[in-house]
């Protein structure tokens, strides 16, 4: 489905509704059980280790184009932010936190956020770490569409589909409840609720059991650097580093190949819980998602892009029909046409090029 032109990407990249900040998403008991799972089942890999096995994949996902001779290794761009999955594809992996995942209050909040009739929890993960550097680049979470999900479509195509605003009718509606437990300095959450050209907003301290209902696929956001600047350096951090709790010493440690490279006191840990639901405006929409009766096809995705490029007077050859989603010339054209990123920031930028998690 196409939108009116000229396409205003700043208008496209806004969440379904303004983020809703609220206090105490979890009870103290739920928090202790969530953290208990993290303590008992670690150590946990870095965020980037979950999603990327080569620098090329990482660069392609954030920018779509891999420059030649970039000379970077995954260790060069590793950040000390670690991740684990608590629930996937609506299945909660740990029975002791079922009530946190199949959470009636969160389901009602997700529905209310969209004004929708139904919501279904689909995913729950956590990010954890102590004071560390992170880049200041904002990002969008991967957008899924009926007919184009991570299962069959590269993330950079999903991101371009989202940024273009051409496929809004097929967006799988989502809402997240993101919650922070963090008492140290910085480590805030910055987001652009009025589009990337609007003013950014920030989830401010105190960030202990503070939550926000958001749609992070269509709103630029980032986690800000964590802790005091003088405590952020970590020597020996690598892409393959792990993070875990040590009961014997009641502290947390980053290890690289089994070697401890950094420890943190329990009070110096930033713990983020990310809960995600799929949302259906009505039963009709829910059925369309479930029975795939209105999925977009790969051919229709290509046609829609080509039609829009032609309307804009952008020259583009028909992509390689065998593998259009990896056709570098096609992707480069899409990237230069649908490129947008925040132009406003409150932060004193000293950007080191790393992506924040």
Q: What is the C-alpha separation between 285 and 166, in angstroms, rounded?
A: 19
Q: How far is the CB of 37 from Fe ion (least distance, A)?
A: 21
With CB under 5 A as the contact rule, which of the stretches 16-24, 124-132, 138-146, 163-171 interacts with Fe ion? 138-146
Between 220 and 330, name the residue whose CB sits nearer to Fe ion.
Answer: 220
Q: How far is the CB of 176 from Fe ion (least distance, A)?
A: 9
Between 141 and 327, name the residue whose CB sits nearer to Fe ion.
Answer: 141
Between 190 and 337, name the residue whose CB sits nearer to Fe ion.
Answer: 190
Decide: is 141 part of the binding site for Fe ion (CB under 5 A).
yes
With CB under 5 A as the contact rule, which of the stretches 59-67, 141-149, 191-199, 284-292 interacts with Fe ion? 141-149
Nearest to 81 by CA among 218, 222, 185: 222
How deeply is 283 buried, as exposed, middle or buried, from its count of CB atoms within 10 A (0-12, 13-18, 19+)?
exposed
Q: How far is the CB of 56 from Fe ion (least distance, A)?
A: 21
Between 8 and 224, name the residue whose CB sits nearer to Fe ion.
Answer: 224
- Cα–Cα distances in angstroms (integers) from residue 198 to residues 9, 141, 175, 219, 235, in the given order: 12, 19, 21, 11, 37
Tokens of 251: 């502290």
Task: Count the site residues for Fe ion by CB under 5 A.
Answer: 1
Between 103 and 159, name the residue whose CB sits nearer to Fe ion.
Answer: 159
Q: Characterize 66-75 residue by residue with b for buried, 16 or more Cβ atoms within 10 angstroms of its Cβ, and e for exposed.
A: eeeeeeeebe
| Nearest residue (beta carbon) to Fe ion | 141
Between 17 and 316, name the residue whose CB sits nearer to Fe ion.
Answer: 17
Residues in contact with Fe ion, shown as a per-residue x/- string from 98 to 137 under the rule CB under 5 A: ----------------------------------------
Residue 308 has, within 13 A of its CA and on its CB side, a CA count of 23
Q: Is 125 helix (H, G, I), strand (E, B) or coil?
A: strand
Nearest to 20 by CA among 141, 106, 99, 101: 106
Q: What is the C-alpha separation between 77 and 300, in angstroms, rounded?
A: 36
Binding site for Fe ion (CB under 5 A): 141
């Amino acid at each position: 489905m196409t939108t009116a032109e000229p396409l205003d990407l700043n208008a496209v990249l806004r969440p379904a509704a303004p983020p809703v900040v609220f206090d105490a998403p979890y009870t103290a008991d739920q928090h202790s059980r969530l953290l208990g799972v993290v303590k008992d089942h670690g150590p946990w890999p870095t965020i980037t280790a979950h999603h990327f096995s080569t620098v090329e994949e990482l660069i392609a996902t954030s920018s779509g184009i891999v420059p030649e001779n970039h000379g970077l290794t995954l260790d060069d761009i590793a950040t000390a932010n670690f991740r684990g999955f608590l629930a996937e594809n609506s299945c909660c992996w740990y029975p002791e936190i079922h009530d946190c995942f199949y959470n009636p209050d969160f389901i009602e909040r997700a529905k209310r956020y969209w004004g929708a009739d139904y919501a279904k929890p689909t995913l729950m993960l956590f990010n954890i770490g102590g004071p560390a550097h992170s880049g200041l680049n904002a990002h969008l979470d991967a957008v899924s569409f009926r007919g184009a999900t991570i299962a069959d479509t590269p993330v950079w195509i999903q991101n371009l589909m989202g940024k273009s605003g051409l496929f809004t009718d097929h967006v799988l509606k989502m809402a997240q409840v993101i919650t922070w437990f963090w008492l140290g300095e910085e480590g805030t959450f910055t987001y652009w609720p009025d589009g990337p050209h609007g003013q950014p907003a920030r989830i401010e301290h105190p960030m202990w059991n503070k939550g926000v209902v958001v749609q992070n696929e269509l709103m630029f956001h980032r986690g800000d650097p964590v802790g005091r600047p003088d405590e952020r350096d970590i020597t020996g951090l690598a892409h393959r580093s792990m993070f875990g709790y040590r009961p014997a010493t009641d502290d947390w440690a980053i290890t690289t190949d089994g070697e401890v490279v950094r420890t943190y006191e329990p009070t110096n840990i930033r713990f983020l819980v990310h809960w995600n639901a799929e949302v259906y405006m009505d039963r009709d929409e829910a059925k369309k998602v479930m029975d795939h009766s209105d999925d977009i096809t790969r051919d229709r995705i290509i046609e829609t892009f080509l039609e829009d490029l032609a309307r804009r007077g952008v020259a583009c050859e028909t992509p390689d029909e065998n593998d259009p989603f990896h056709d570098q010339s096609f992707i480069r054209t899409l990237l230069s046409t649908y490129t947008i990123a925040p132009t406003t920031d409150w932060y004193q930028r000293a950007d080191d090029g790393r992506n924040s998690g």
